[in-house]
Amino acid sequence: MTKTERTHRRSPDPEKGSLDWQPEQNTDDSSRQAVEVVSAFRFHMFDVAAEVSRRNLLGRLWTAMPRSRIWELDGRRIQSQPASAAIAWLGGRAPRRWNWTRRNANRLSIQLFDLWVSGLLPSDAPIVHSLSGCATRAVQLAHRRGAKIICDRGSWHIMAQKRVLSVESERWGFPLRMDPWSMERELQDYETADAIVVPSTRARESFIEEGFPGKQVHVLPYGVDLSTFRPLPNRTHSPPRIVCVGAVSLRKGHHYLLKAFRDLHRPEAELVFAGPVDADFERRFSRLLESATVLGPLPRASVADLLRGGGIFALASVEEGLSLALLQAMASGLPIVATSATGASDIVEHGRSGLLVEAGDADALARSLDLLLSDEELRLRMGRCAVQAAQHRATWSRYGDSVETLYRTIGIP
């Protein structure tokens, strides 16, 4: 059987490299494919493309990532331009003090990707669903040709984000590292869009506060891979380990979480961070960081193991759309302690599957963590409720239903 004769979807396990051939609903290129999904890097967009493909609506996924790194889709649905990813990777490897080099490598990577998409995107594409900021030229060209544009923004409106981070940076003596060039592209994408997609009510509110009509901004919460992120069977206890997954940074509020943990005075508890550590954060809060176990970036399978073995998931962000790691933690059976600025309010029911506090309130974080650490039965009960919430309210299938409805609302031919 040749590759072109296969009627199955290639779904390699990203950790084991194994191949799991699963039926695809329809990969016949003669079918009408309505949506071009554009995202230079992974974020949540590869899962979006997979859901669109399952509904036989995907034209192509346009990305800078190599096909070998994309296990969600049949390779025939992927257009890849790895040169942009290579430039971004090389820029990221530059010494941390070379901020100019790192910033301009990122700009060059995005510009090259945008030009590539602009030159190859089908001129008759009915709908272009693009991650904000990564293909501004391409979506403007597609819009002039008559395509409907969906701008996918994973966080708050860029100006609302800037205001929050400016206050936080000034408070703690940090440089504000938001590239004006990238911000301008974001703003242009908002104006071009026929619809803006965000993952949480709080993110939607930030756009309305900036003057966007509510009917233009749509809340589509992310999903979670329930086959990878699942609770331990017959969990009878959860260790006093507080887990946080994500970049260790000012935006993620790790400084408030570290202060809360220090104030707990619970020597039996452990605070574990998984994710890259921001250089400015490390310099400013090096003493506080000594109280935590910092694992650095982990592969997906290791993150799943870490969450299953944890006791509480904590997220203290001062601004965020909706953390994928938070959903993964819920699916893994962890009760949540998070700020209302994370988008968690849409998924976490306060007092049932977790505890919600205001952003920047280290004392409230400490009280919430102390309550859960002191009551194992409460932790287990909230963890079970978190699993139920993830299984019913945070699936990619549910996301797919919602985004298909949006496509049909704005006009699939």
Question: What CATH number is given to the structural domain containing 34?
Answer: 3.40.50.2000
Domain assignment of residue 226, yes or no: no
Quickly tell me which residue has 């202060």 as its tokens: 259
The stretch 144-167 carries a mean pLDDT of: 98
For the chain, how many structural domains are there in total?
Answer: 2
As a whole number of angstroms, the distance between CA 254 and CA 231 comes to 25
In degrees to the nearest 10, what's the CA dihedral of 158, 163, 164, 168? 130
The percent of residues in the chain predicted with pLDDT above 70, rounded, is 89
Helix (H, G, I), strand (E, B) or coil at 225: coil
Asked if residue 334 and residue 379 are part of one domain, the reply reads yes
Asked if residue 285 and residue 267 are part of one domain, the reply reads yes
Asked if residue 321 and residue 212 are part of one domain, the reply reads no
Domain assignment of residue 236, yes or no: no
Is the torsion defined by CA of 337, 343, 346, 347 positive or negative? negative
Q: Tens digit of pLDDT for each residue in 277-307?
A: 998 999 999 999 999 999 999 999 999 999 9
Asked if residue 175 and residue 82 are part of one domain, the reply reads yes
* Structural domain boundaries enclosing 115: 3-221+395-410
- Residue 346: phi and psi, rounded to 5, are -75, -20
Domain assignment of residue 149, yes or no: yes
Asked if residue 255 and residue 169 are part of one domain, the reply reads no
Strand order of the β-sheet with 241-245 is: 293-294, 270-274, 241-245, 312-315, 336-339, 354-357
Among 106-115, 175-184, 233-242, 252-261, where is mean pLDDT lowest? 233-242
Quickly tell me which residue has 């709908």 as its tokens: 127
As a whole number of angstroms, the distance between CA 346 and CA 356 comes to 11
Domain assignment of residue 211, yes or no: yes
Asked if residue 270 and residue 181 are part of one domain, the reply reads no
Asked if residue 153 and residue 257 are part of one domain, the reply reads no
Domain assignment of residue 91, yes or no: yes
Asked if residue 268 and residue 210 are part of one domain, the reply reads no
Q: How far is CA 195 from CA 57, 131, 190, 401, 410, in A?
A: 18, 12, 8, 17, 8
The stretch 331-358 carries a mean pLDDT of: 97
Among 13-17, 376-380, 396-400, where is mean pLDDT lowest? 13-17
Closest CA to 222 of 244, 203, 208, 247: 203
Residue 322 contacts by C-beta under 8 Å, 6 or more apart in sequence?
154, 199, 200, 203, 221, 222, 342, 343, 344, 346, 347
Which pTM value belongs to this model? 0.89
**Predicted confidence band at 236 (pLDDT cuts at 50, 70, 90)?**
low
> Which secondary structure element, helix H or strand E, spans residue 300, and what is its range?
helix 300-308
Residue 58 contacts by C-beta under 8 Å, 6 or more apart in sequence?
33, 35, 37, 49, 52, 73, 77
Q: Residue 98: what pLDDT?
A: 63
Domain assignment of residue 227, yes or no: no
Domain assignment of residue 230, yes or no: no
Q: Is the pLDDT of residue 42 over 70?
A: yes
Residue 356 contacts by C-beta under 8 Å, 6 or more apart in sequence?
338, 339, 340, 344, 345, 348, 350
Asked if residue 362 and residue 260 are part of one domain, the reply reads yes
Asked if residue 318 and residue 336 are part of one domain, the reply reads yes
The stretch 217-222 carries a mean pLDDT of: 98
* Buried b or exposed e, range 72-110, using 16+ CB within 10 angstroms: bbbeebbbbbeebbebbeebeeeeeeeeeebbbbbbebb
As a whole number of angstroms, the distance between CA 202 and CA 320 comes to 9
As a whole number of angstroms, the distance between CA 228 and CA 242 comes to 20
Domain assignment of residue 330, yes or no: yes
Q: Residue 19: what pLDDT?
A: 31
Residue 165 contacts by C-beta under 8 Å, 6 or more apart in sequence?
176, 178, 250, 251, 318, 319
As a whole number of angstroms, the distance between CA 88 and CA 107 comes to 9
Asked if residue 199 and residue 57 are part of one domain, the reply reads yes
Asked if residue 49 and residue 20 are part of one domain, the reply reads yes
